[in-house]
Homo-oligomer: A and B are copies of this chain.
Amino acid sequence: MINVGIIGAGRIGQVHAKSILTGVPDARILAIADPYMKPAVAEWARSVGIEGVYDDHRKIMDDERIDAVLICASTTLHAQLSLEAIAAGKHIFCEKPIDQSIAKIEEVKAALEASPKKLVYQVGFNRRYDHNYRAMRKAVEEGKIGEVQFVRVSSRDPEPPPAEYVSISGGMFMDMMIHDLDMVRYLSGQEVVELYAQGACMVDPAIGEAGDVDTVAINLKLANGALATIDGSRKAVYGYDQRGEVFGSKGCVTNANDSESNIVLSTVAGVTAEKPLWFFLERYMGSYQAEVREFIECIRDGKEPTVGIEDGLVSIKLALACAKSMKENRPVRIDEI
C-alpha cells in the first residue's frame, strides 16, 4: 500500500483524489493540503476517510508515513514544491508544466539526480494516457504503420479563456499547445529538431490586445527526417476537438473525437451524429485515472513513468521555440533554446 499526500485541493487535486479512491486500490490518501481550502472540500475529504486536511503542505512533507506527493498547486509553485518533496524523499507526481523557466526545471532535475533515494518523478501530461492516443501510439510502436514519415495533431478548445487569464497564461503555445507538442513526440517516438510557428488572432480581438494569438499552425522537423504539423484554435463552436494522424511507410493511423453517445439521427436535415464531448475533464477523465494508476505502479514496481521530467523539460523548450519562431518569423532549431 502506497501512502500519498495531495498538495492543492482545487479542481485537478480533487480529480486525482477521486481517481485514487475509486480506481487505485493499492494507494491510500493520508492527507490533502491547500492554503485556501474550501470548507466543502475539507468536509468531503474527511467523509471519504482522508485523515489529514491541512492548510500547510509542509505537514505532508514532514509526515514520514507518506511515500508520495501529487503536486496540484498553482503552476508558479510546481518547481519549489518539487524541490521540497525531493528533499523530503517523496516520490512526485507534478501537474504540468513543471515551470515556464528552463532553468528552474533543470534545477529540479539536478536535485532529483542528486537525491540519494531513487525517486519517481512523473509529469501530468494526461493525454498520453487517453484511450485513443494510447491506441495510436501502440499501433506505431508495434510497427503497424512502418517508419513514421508524417504526424499531424489538431487541437481546438470549445471556448477561449477569459482575456485576463490570457495575459498570465504564458501564451497559447505554453498554455495550450504544450500538450500537442508533447503529442508529436509521443505519437512519433521522435525528438523535434526544428520548428516554424505561425499565429493569428481570429477568434477574439481581446486576446490579441492581451498580446497573444488564438489560432496557430506549427511545422516541425523530427530527428528521423519526418515532418509534422500542429494546428490549434482557442474556439471550436462544436466542442472540444482533438484529433491526430500518424502516417508511415506501411500505413496511417488516425483517431476521432469521443461523444456522449454514438447515435445517428437521419432526418430531412441530414444524417447527424453527436458533437464531441465539450469539457476536457469529461473527455479525458479516463486518462486522469490511468496516469495516477501508473504513478503508483512505478513507485511499487520501480518502473520509469511514461512521462518523466525530461519530457516535461522538452515540452517547455518546444513551447519557447514556437514563441520565438512566431516572433522572429523564422524556423528555430530546438538546440537554440
Contact = CB atoms under 8 A, between A and B. Distances in A.
Interface string A227-243: 11101010111110100
Nearest to A152: B231
A5 to B, nearest CB: 21
Contacts of A228: 217
Contacts of A219: 196, 198, 217-219, 229
A239 B150 CA distance: 16
A236 B247 contact: yes
Which one of A200, A233, A272 has the greatest number of beta carbons of chain B within 10 Å? A272
Given A236-B252, A250-B267, A261 B216 contact: no
Interface string A256-287: 11111111111111111111100000000000
Interface stretch (A88-96, A111-119, A129-137, A311-319): A129-137
A22 interface: yes
Contacts of A274: 135, 270-271
Contacts of A101: none
A136 B255 contact: no
Contacts of A218: 219
Given A270-B273, A331-B196, A249 B149 contact: no
Contacts of A263: 132, 135-136, 139, 253-255
A251 interface: yes
A65 interface: no
